[in-house]
Amino acid sequence: MDLKETEISSQQIFQGRILDLSVRTIKLPNGETATREIVKHRPASCVIAINDQQEMLLVKQWREAIKQVTLEIPAGIVDPTDASPLDAMKRELNEEGGYRAEYWEKVSEFYSTPGFCDEKMHLFYCDTLIKLTDKRSLDADEFLTSDWYSLDKLKNLLAEGKIVDAKTVYAISVWENMLLRNAQAESNK
């Protein structure tokens, strides 16, 4: 069965700084029509930043959409001034954590909520962190704190429902799998 939907028409409802909203009429695989509300979102980058104590950097900030403070990995939108998603992440690690890293690795790309949004997230891993004395300022409307968490503490926070951000849940899982693979590789030597 062909699952592809075909766009018949699209009406832009809102155009913003980071996202646009449109309502599309689509033809379903069975020939019927339906309406889809679609958010076009600028791409973003996020990072699994690990220190020498094998702890992950998380930021705590208010999220108005869900009316609560969240614990999240550092992340940010890829600005037009950024040459790449990695450049955006380097900027955000400086702004949100006050660090730069010597080692960077692209881990994956994923879509945050593909049911209605095309936001592509670029996930990176970094370690060999260096604390900066010339930390860039946060955006004027950005207020957050940062702290370090061990994998065990992160797993407890997940079990307690205290980490609700999907990119962070995914990043913790990726980091745990990276550690398991590294441990297996060491034991096979």
Q: What is the mean pLDDT of residues 73-77?
A: 96
- The domains of the chain are located at 6-40, 43-187
Q: When comparing pLDDT for 38 and 141, which is higher?
A: 38
Predicted pLDDT of residue 178? 94
- Cα–Cα distance measured from residue 88 to residue 86, given in angstroms and rounded to the nearest whole number: 5
Q: Which amino acid is at 72?
A: E
Q: What is the mean pLDDT of residues 54-79?
A: 95
The pLDDT-based confidence of 135 (bands split at 50, 70, 90) is: low
Name the average pLDDT for the chain: 93
Tell me what pLDDT residue 123 has: 98
Q: Assign residue 54 a region (left: φ > 0; alpha: ψ between -120 and 50; beta: otherwise).
A: left
Tell whether domain 43-187 is in CATH 3.90.800.10: no
pLDDT of 136: 64
Q: Are 72 and 162 in contact (CB under 8 A)?
A: no
Residue 20's closest CA among 39, 36, 35, 7? 39
Question: At residue 37, does pLDDT exceed 90?
Answer: yes
- Residue 34: per-residue pLDDT: 97
Mean pLDDT across 23-42: 96
pLDDT at 176 over 90: yes
Rounded to two decimals, the pTM is 0.91
